Amino acid sequence: MNYNNVTDEVISKSIKVHRKLGPGLLESAYRECLFYELQKSGFNVKKEVPLPLVYEDVKLDHGYRIDLLVEDKIVLELKTVDQLNEVHQAQILTYLKLGEFPIGYLLNFNVKMLKDGIKRYRI
């Protein structure tokens, strides 16, 4: 499966979860359901992936955790907020940079239509 197909499927499964559950639940509920959908579709997906900060020879565990990591390259950061802001953007950009991941998505499930809560990031 090529890169675009993976991201298309990730978005499709995210929309499916949102349509079934609607807005207003805890982030953890969406994370578990999306994890289930992606696994069921045959993706290598991990949840709550720890991401250390490495500075020269020092490894610092500062509690960074990626909500979902798909195929060891696509970061999914789920939110249930009124509106995505610069802090959320900084969070996902930090994950992409520290983990050297090529692509990430902020998915805000607290919207009427999920397409309005999806932001894609690349480094």
User: Distance of CA 100 to CAs 58, 88, 93, Å?
Assistant: 17, 18, 10
- Assign residue 87 the CATH number of its domain: 3.40.1350
13-39 pLDDT, tens digit per residue, is 999 999 999 999 999 999 999 999 999
- At 58 the pLDDT is 87
Domain count, the chain: 1
- At 4 the pLDDT is 80
Contacts of 31 (CB under 8 A, 6+ apart): 47, 67, 68, 78
**Token output for 59:** 């490894």
The SS3 of residue 54 is strand
- The whole model's pTM is what? 0.93
